[in-house]
Structure 1
Amino acid sequence: MSKSGRPREFKDTAVIDAAVEVFWTNGYEACSTDDLCKQTGLGRGSLYNAFGSKHELYEQALRRYHEVGIQAQIELLEQEGPVKNCLRSLLEWEIPKGAEADSRGCLLINAAGERAKSDPVVEKIFKQHVGLLEQAIWNAIRRGQETGEISKEKTTEELAGMFLSSYYGLRVIFPATMDYALAERMIDGILNSIF
């Protein structure tokens, strides 16, 4: 317990969430310790005492982003009702509108593009995220094939792989363009290729 009587993990979670925002906005290389201190409210000494290094905080930020994001995506895919609606919900989840619109894209995709080839931690977290998401997509498509909503003409693996690659394409293209009409055409095209 901390001196305030609150479990330390609560404080750490708030600090990690603040760090997520800094790394998400700036990327790893352009993120300074001063940026992290300002956003988290911790002094330089406290930050390093709590997390050891900028890279260790980055790892925890990526893990936190992964855990929250994968849970949200899996919940969308496991909703009751037609599988088409579940898959559409997942695709539309990436296209926030209004005040929630964000051109930063996905922190994990950004991290993989920036550091996966040189940073085994980033590579591991990204692969774990993609693997869990692919399995959840596979499960949803299999469910649709078993109910007759999706044809069995193509294998579950083929459809899941195609959906996953299209979904990640959308997750790269939309933040870069913020083109809602293009995103809607992409979503319709992805779903029409399966149903």
Structure 2
Amino acid sequence: MARPRAFDEAAVLDAALDCFWSRGYEATSVRDLAGGMGITGASLYNAFGDKRALYELAFERYVRAGVHDRIARLEALPPLEAIEAFFAEVIANSVGDPERKGCFLVNATLELAPHDPEFRRHVEAVLDAMQGFFQRQVEKGRAMGVIAAPGEADELAAMLLGQLLGLRVLSRVDPSPERLNGMLRPLFAMLRAP
């Protein structure tokens, strides 16, 4: 009979996420993880497998809380309000990040996804979910007459996703609300129906 775990799995996954988020995948050792999680290396391996498996669990935890939760909460808002609220939350997170860790999704996209085809599929699924959210808002906004930007809905959604990713990268260098909001004002003005 297996022994029950002597730790709170959610808490140690949060700690692993913090370690990876602060240092990145490559620079985070198993020793760093075990220390940050408050468990032994043996417990880490027994509970989560190897470092790569733990990274994937931390990534999934981040995506569930940071992306999927946001999409679910904002989906019911009026379309322009939903898009603007999505970006507003991202800016608030960026401005409130004294360590300038950036977006865990963007960090993972740049560090691990190019070299790991399986992980790249996870990242693509999250990017597709965000672009899908933007596309649904554009389509609803057009049907309601509040979005009149030219172009196909999927192209506008791709543009919004690109702007979001660029904003997250820029925020690691300059997370000033003036600059980040300034990036968005022309975008939102272009979306709005006259």
Give the TM-score taking structure 1 as reference length: 0.88
- For residues 9 and 167 of structure 2, the distance between their equivalents in structure 1, rounded to whole angstroms, comes to 33
- For residues 99 and 161 of structure 1, the distance between their equivalents in structure 2, rounded to whole angstroms, comes to 24
Q: Which residue of 1 aligns with 2:89?
A: 93
| Matched-pair contact (CA < 8 Å) for 2:48–2:54 | yes
- For residues 88 and 96 of structure 1, the distance between their equivalents in structure 2, rounded to whole angstroms, comes to 12
The amino acid across from 2:188 in the alignment is L
Q: Which residue of 1 aligns with 2:35?
A: 38
| Matched-pair contact (CA < 8 Å) for 1:141–1:159 | yes
Q: Structure 1's 166 and 98: CA in aligned 2 closer, same or farther, altered over 3 A? A: closer
- For residues 92 and 150 of structure 1, the distance between their equivalents in structure 2, rounded to whole angstroms, comes to 19
Gaps of 5+ in 2: none
Can you list the C-alpha shifts for 1:26-76, whole angstroms capped at 9, x where unaligned? 001110112111111111111111112111111111111112222233135
The amino acid across from 2:81 in the alignment is N
Q: Which residue of 2 aligns with 1:78?
A: 75
The amino acid across from 1:119 in the alignment is D
What's the offset of the Cα at 1:174? 1.6
Gaps of 5+ in 1: none
- For residues 152 and 47 of structure 1, the distance between their equivalents in structure 2, rounded to whole angstroms, comes to 50
Q: Which moved more, 1:99-108 or 1:30-39?
A: 99-108
What's the offset of the Cα at 1:22? 0.4
Q: CA RMSD in A?
A: 2.3
Can you list the C-alpha shifts for 1:134-171, whole angstroms capped at 9, x where unaligned? 11111111110010001264221121111111111111
Number of corresponding residues: 190
| Matched-pair contact (CA < 8 Å) for 2:105–2:123 | yes
Q: Structure 1's 57 and 182: CA in aligned 2 closer, same or farther, altered over 3 A? A: same
- For residues 110 and 92 of structure 1, the distance between their equivalents in structure 2, rounded to whole angstroms, comes to 20
| Matched-pair contact (CA < 8 Å) for 1:144–1:150 | yes
Q: Structure 1's 164 and 30: CA in aligned 2 closer, same or farther, altered over 3 A? A: same
- For residues 94 and 166 of structure 2, the distance between their equivalents in structure 1, rounded to whole angstroms, comes to 22
The percentage of counterpart residues that share the same residue type is 31
Q: Secondary structure at the match of 2:109?
A: helix
Give the TM-score taking structure 2 as reference length: 0.88
Q: Which runs of 4+ in 1 moved over 4 A?
A: none
Q: Secondary structure at the match of 1:96?
A: helix
Q: Which moved more, 1:144-153 or 1:53-62?
A: 144-153
